[in-house]
A and B are shown apart, each in its own frame.
Chain A
């Protein structure tokens, strides 16, 4: 049965008008994961949102892959800090109105 969750890299490149080398670089930086099947590389459809974001950052905002890699690392930190703020905010409620 044909798998519809995996999309050939070439097709993704054609759709977003990006060279295959661009996708390969994203893989090198471990920004996305590619799956190999019968000599063809595929991208899981769950990764497409990430690919779209990276394409926008690179082509619309002129940010290179190294910069995007740094941004993703910082965004992870932002999410972790937000989580911590939420936890601390909830704990602070304990001491309010005392």
Chain B
């Protein structure tokens, strides 16, 4: 873990008074506190640093050690001892007792989870921590309800993903969060869906949108074209004289409605007429004849 300059974190100089430290901590904590910045990872990271800085600088003994030994302040007692005992002969590892990621979390956890206590012989039960996770899925994956196994903290959780979940939607899996304290209920697991769409369809809630290319002659004379949907191929009847940009709605061929069984949105198709290019002289001649007929 990189060295954290606690004075810099709190925006203070080395000559700051205890009161300055307290004030700076409170001001920054009010800005970055996780309770005031829900789901903000950056704020949480910043708050951990601020908290750590306050734990060290807010304690006169720790601050003295920190001022003298900087990042190795936690080994201050060993250094002091070695000064009196002559040269230090032990093997010193600079990061062996520093804040590892794990210590940091524990430090943070102690601060934020309700500690447990025994009161009057009765244990108070506390709910476990809520956990957040993100799950990436393709649009096609969420067209149908399906089961999926997630691995969280080395534990497999089998969940049902209901058809029609939205990008960014969060679902709660009850009881799969952190373990409760003293037999209290477990916290919940919140899964946020990130839905990637590589299909030719655009989605707005339960409606799907797409464009279908038509050649000039089918647009003029009418005909049939087929297209792929999530449920297979569909045949489209093209009316003669179809204009570019014409929209048709296929009722019930859209996306499933979230948690509404057998209900679907619509598929809205926009026709895009492709004009022929690189006309041959014969084609040009025939089109000019058509033009003459129309005028």
Chain A residues close to B by CB (< 8 Å): 4, 7, 11-12, 14-16, 45-46, 48-49, 52-53, 56-57, 60-63, 71, 75, 78-79, 86, 89-91, 93-94
Summarize A's interface: helix, strand, loop or mixed: helix
Q: Which 10 residue pairs across A and B have the least CB separation, nearest first?
A: A86-B168, A94-B202, A53-B35, A61-B30, A90-B167, A52-B114, A94-B204, A15-B117, A14-B119, A91-B204
Count of chain B residues with a beta carbon within 8 Å of a chain A beta carbon = 29
Compute the total of residue contacts between A and B using a CB distance below 8 Å: 66
- How close is A95's CB to chain B, nearest CB, in angstroms? 8
Residue pairs across A and B with Cβ atoms less than 8 A apart, 5 shown, are A4-B125, A57-B35, A75-B36, A90-B168, A90-B205
The answer to whether A57 and B33 have CB atoms under 8 Å apart is yes
Other than A15-B114, A90-B167, give 15 A-B pairs with Cβ distance below 8 A.
A4-B125, A11-B122, A12-B124, A45-B127, A48-B114, A53-B35, A57-B33, A61-B30, A71-B36, A78-B38, A89-B168, A91-B204, A93-B167, A94-B202, A94-B209
Taken together as a complex, chains A and B put the C-alpha atoms of A45 and B203 apart, in Å, by 40
Q: Mark B185-210, 1 if CB is under 8 A from A, else 0.
A: 10000000000010000111100010
Complex CA–CA separation, A75 to B34 (angstroms): 12
Chain B contacts to A: CB under 8 angstroms: 26, 29-30, 33, 35-36, 38, 112, 114, 117, 119-120, 122, 124-127, 166-169, 184-185, 197, 202-205, 209
Q: Which residues of A contact B26 (CB under 8 A)?
A: 61-62
Nearest A residue to B114, CB-CB: A52
CB of B44, distance to nearest CB on chain A (Å): 14
